[in-house]
Amino acid sequence: MFYCTGSYVNSSVRVVVSQGAWRAATIRAMSDVHSEELLAQVAALPALPGVYRYFDAQDALLYVGKALNLKRRVSSYFQKNHGGTRIGHMVSKIVRMETTVVRSEAEALLLENNLIKTLNPKFNILFRDDKSYPYLKITGVPGSGSRSDAPGQVFPRMAYYRGAVDKKHRYFGPYPSAWAVKETIQLLQKVFRLRTCEDTVFANRTRPCLLYQIKRCTGPCVNLISPEAYAADVQHAEALLRGETQALLQALEARMMAHSDKLEFEQAAEVRNQIQALSRVLHQQSIETVDDKDVDILAVRVQGGRACVNLAMVRGGRHLGDRPYFPVHVEDAAGVFAQEGDEAAPAAARPVPPVEVLVLQAFIAQHYIGVPVPPLLVTSVPVDKALLAALTEQSGLRVSAIHQPREQRRAWLDMAQKNADLQLARLLAEEGSQQARTRALAEALDLPPEDLDQLTIECFDISHTAGESTQASCVVFHHHKMQSSEYRRYKIEGITGGDDYAAMRQVLTRRYSKVAEAAREAGGIDYAANPAPGAEEAARPSGQARLPDLVLLDGGKGQVAVAREVFTALGLDLTRIVGVEKGEGRKVGLEELVFADGREKVYLGKDSAALMLVAQIRDEAHRFAITGMRAARAKVRVGGGQLEEIAGVGPKKRARLLQRFGGVRGVAAASVEDLVTVDGISRELAEEIYRALR
């Protein structure tokens, strides 16, 4: 249970000085930087465990920290002279503070990392991973199936799955990659021949599919196996996924001998074939013979201001592969932590942990918030016992860690460490190349060379097929890479089909009208006057979208002229607009840049790093636009699953409807009387189809 003190200010509380005149002098000095309200709030904090959060003047979150004693820890920030260190830079920006009191250090640690993961503070080590882990799902719950139940209960299916897990099905994993799940499904198909088809396909089959012919399925769709025998195969597959290989082999051998004793030689031969297939799989897939069934191996590497944590997974005794993670804000967060330390200990006695330890502990705390934690972690550096205790409390499972393993665990860790080294080297090489491209583009276009990490580029492209399903795309580039989470698609309507200029006018107006309006209301900035650097950021409200430093258009003079009209009407800076015009013969490398402010066209050269970056962003905008257009076109032509979503319309009836009326549009245009003429379509179903498609 958390007790939130919020961001209250108690004006009746006086700052009490009890540790000498030097502290009083420090507080007087700090009062010149921070408001009396903030210092009074610090003085009123309780001596209890909790979490604190610092905010700057723009209400942006600077830092999230935990403390065994909130009063002592937070006071240490405001009672010391931190000089020009990173923590001093952070403290000078603090304007507001929020605190939350909790019951224990474990609760404080969990809350701290929940807030770090969700709020992305600037001075904390952040692991941003928007990809959920894949699982292997087996539908249904054991023992709940009967012959009258859905096929997912009587004959469960294996499936690849991402998303939140529930109690309706059984989930195995998580797996580090989609490849690992699909490889495991193939393994189980070879040995136990479980079905993988969708329930709708399963329910409508009249003869077995190709998987049955190649001995990858037992044909439950046409009752070629009994529910009892299929359930036994499902149980054996789950035993293999849990790593119970020896017990599984013994059970299969006992089953084979039982069939043999009963003179059921055909059944005994089938079980024998399963045993042989399983033995081959265990050999080929390198199933480990150690006692560890579920283990995570974590190796960390720090170099050149960047860090990599490589996570390898062992599930059911099988090494499933690994996945690298690259945190941000490593240097800032490490600098703050090094200055912070344990407020109860003298400064000279504080042990400052290596950066590798800070990075790994931040990863463990943030990663296992939403992912099941295994009972054992094998790590390249030691892990704080308090962190393990918090994970144990959170998961209800005793979690331990070792950082000097032996034998098989040592081999796992060495492999993870080598992969961490390789992944970090690759990242540094890629970032060096990408930063060089960003710098080259800034120089070519006379953009400010300061803080190129914040250089933001948005690129637009229009895509359609002969005027059908027109889509506009907007892709975003900053921090030297494409930011896919910020991409946007715009459905273009109300224009003449094929009019790319009208489509570009619509998407630019929709994209930037609110930005311009909000900026004018906030600070009266005239973008057309090319405001001084920093003026836009100071005037922009917290969380409000900003105008990018560069607006790229996939097109030449025509598209640029349209953009100039839109920006002029909105009062925006024309120097930000650049068109990418195809060169002679539309050959790659001959593109020219067209400007909206009257500058002459620029040819960067086919080997230019700046042109490589422009082409990369332009091509990504084109890819994003054309995939959206094709999806929209398919939805119109095929009905986007509309017929499939109508209850009572199965594959056969859908095929008859499409054949009779020539497509979904024809079905949608048909009357109820026309629909009932199709074999198998009753009046009630015809009326339902008529309503659904209109």
Residue 597: pLDDT band (50, 70, 90) is: confident
What is the structure's pLDDT at 635?
Answer: 56
Domain membership of residue 125 (yes or no) is no
Closest CA to 537 of 523, 550, 551: 523
Q: How far apart are CA 378 and CA 295, in angstroms?
A: 7
Summarize the confidence of residues 455-481 as an average pLDDT: 86
Q: Do 307 and 251 belong to one domain?
A: no
Q: How far apart are CA 333 and CA 361, in angstroms?
A: 13
85 contacts 29 by C-beta, under 8 angstroms: no
DSSP 39-67: HHHHHT--SS-EEEEEE-TT--EEEEEEE
Q: Do 459 and 419 belong to one domain?
A: no
Q: Do 531 and 630 belong to one domain?
A: yes
Residue 67 Ramachandran class (φ > 0 left, ψ -120 to 50 alpha, else beta): beta
Cα–Cα–Cα angle for 29, 94, 352, rounded to 5 degrees = 85
Name which of 87-96, 499-508, 645-654, 678-687 the model is least confident about: 645-654
Domain membership of residue 72 (yes or no) is yes
- CATH number of the domain that residue 683 is part of: 1.10.150.20
Question: Is pLDDT above 80 for 535?
Answer: no
Q: Do 627 and 647 belong to one domain?
A: no
What is the structure's pLDDT at 296?
Answer: 92
What is the structure's pLDDT at 18?
Answer: 41
Q: Do 35 and 108 belong to one domain?
A: yes
- CATH number of the domain that residue 599 is part of: 3.30.420.340
Q: What is the mean pLDDT of the chain?
A: 79
Domain membership of residue 444 (yes or no) is no
CB under 8 Å to 562, separation ≥6 — which residues?
A: 501, 504, 505, 508
421 contacts 309 by C-beta, under 8 angstroms: no
Q: What is the dihedral of CA 243, 249, 254, 258, to 10 degrees?
A: 110
* Cis bond before residue 174 (omega within 30° of 0): yes
124 contacts 116 by C-beta, under 8 angstroms: yes
Q: pTM value? A: 0.63
CB under 8 Å to 666, separation ≥6 — which residues?
A: 660
Q: Do 599 and 532 belong to one domain?
A: yes
Continuous segment of H or E residues that includes residue 323: strand 318-325
Closest CA to 650 of 674, 677, 685: 685
Domain boundary among 284, 303, 327: 284
Bridge partners (DSSP) listed for residue 112 = none
Residue 474: pLDDT band (50, 70, 90) is: very high
80 contacts 34 by C-beta, under 8 angstroms: no
Domain of 502, in residue numbers? 452-634
Burial class of residue 116, CB neighbours in 10 A (0-12, 13-18, 19+): buried
Q: How far apart are CA 170 and CA 374, in angstroms?
A: 17
Q: How far apart are CA 519 and CA 501, in angstroms?
A: 26
Q: Percentage of the chain with pLDDT > 70?
A: 81
| Residue pLDDT, tens place only, 83-123 | 667 788 888 888 889 999 988 888 888 888 888 888 888 88
- Residue 138 Cα to chain centre, angstroms: 24
Neighbours of 632 (CB within 10 A): 20
Q: If you average pLDDT over each of 141-155, 281-295, 625-639, which comes out highest?
A: 625-639
Question: Is pLDDT above 70 for 288?
Answer: no
| Residue pLDDT, tens place only, 192-244 | 889 998 888 888 888 888 898 888 898 999 888 888 889 888 988 888 888 77
Domain membership of residue 128 (yes or no) is no
Residue type, 437: R
What is the structure's pLDDT at 353?
Answer: 78
Domain boundary among 92, 119, 146: 119
3-state helix, strand, coil in the chain (%, to 5): 50, 15, 35
Q: Do 223 and 158 belong to one domain?
A: yes
Neighbours of 626 (CB within 10 A): 16
What is the structure's pLDDT at 7?
Answer: 42
Residue 464: pLDDT band (50, 70, 90) is: confident
Mapped onto helix, strand or coil, the DSSP state of residue 637 is helix
Q: How far apart are CA 110 and CA 2, in angstroms?
A: 11
What is the structure's pLDDT at 634?
Answer: 58
What is the structure's pLDDT at 338?
Answer: 57
Q: How far apart are CA 304 and CA 184, in angstroms?
A: 38
**Strand pairing class (488-491; 577-581):** unpaired
Three-state secondary structure readout of 168-185: CCEEECCCCCHHHHHHHH
What is the structure's pLDDT at 287?
Answer: 44
What is the structure's pLDDT at 20?
Answer: 45
Q: How far apart are CA 112 and CA 332, in angstroms?
A: 17
Summarize the confidence of residues 585-597 as an average pLDDT: 81
Bridge partners (DSSP) listed for residue 302 = 307
What is the structure's pLDDT at 300?
Answer: 94
287 contacts 407 by C-beta, under 8 angstroms: no
Question: Is pLDDT above 60 for 541?
Answer: no
Domain boundary among 590, 605, 634: 634
Residue type, 614: V
Helices first, then strands: H and E counts in the chain:
24, 19
- CATH number of the domain that residue 37 is part of: 3.40.1440.10
Closest CA to 635 of 671, 664, 666: 664
Summarize the confidence of residues 657-678 as an average pLDDT: 81
Closest CA to 485 of 120, 159, 56: 120
Residue 426: pLDDT band (50, 70, 90) is: confident
Q: Which two tokens stand for residue 414?
A: 């060495």
Domain membership of residue 648 (yes or no) is yes
Domain membership of residue 338 (yes or no) is yes
Mapped onto helix, strand or coil, the DSSP state of residue 99 is strand
Q: Do 624 and 657 belong to one domain?
A: no
Q: How far apart are CA 149 and CA 153, in angstroms?
A: 6
Q: Which two tokens stand for residue 167?
A: 């109690």
What is the structure's pLDDT at 289?
Answer: 45
- CATH number of the domain that residue 368 is part of: 3.30.420
Greater confidence (129 vs 511) lies with 511
Q: Which two tokens stand for residue 661?
A: 């009326």
Report the number of distinct structural domains present in the chain. 5
Q: Percentage of the chain with pLDDT > 90?
A: 15
Domain membership of residue 127 (yes or no) is no
Q: Do 606 and 569 belong to one domain?
A: yes
307 contacts 328 by C-beta, under 8 angstroms: no
Q: Do 99 and 214 belong to one domain?
A: no
Residue 12: pLDDT band (50, 70, 90) is: very low
CB under 8 Å to 113, separation ≥6 — which residues?
A: 362, 365, 366, 369
What is the structure's pLDDT at 200?
Answer: 80
Q: Do 110 and 259 belong to one domain?
A: no
Greater confidence (276 vs 399) lies with 399
Angle of the 385-395 helix axis to the 355-367 helix axis, nearest 10: 10
Q: Do 654 and 600 belong to one domain?
A: no
Bridge partners (DSSP) listed for residue 315 = 318
Helices (H), 398-534: 407-444, 500-523
What is the structure's pLDDT at 632?
Answer: 66
Q: How far apart are CA 278 and CA 191, in angstroms?
A: 6
Question: Is pLDDT above 80 for 578?
Answer: yes
Domain membership of residue 32 (yes or no) is yes
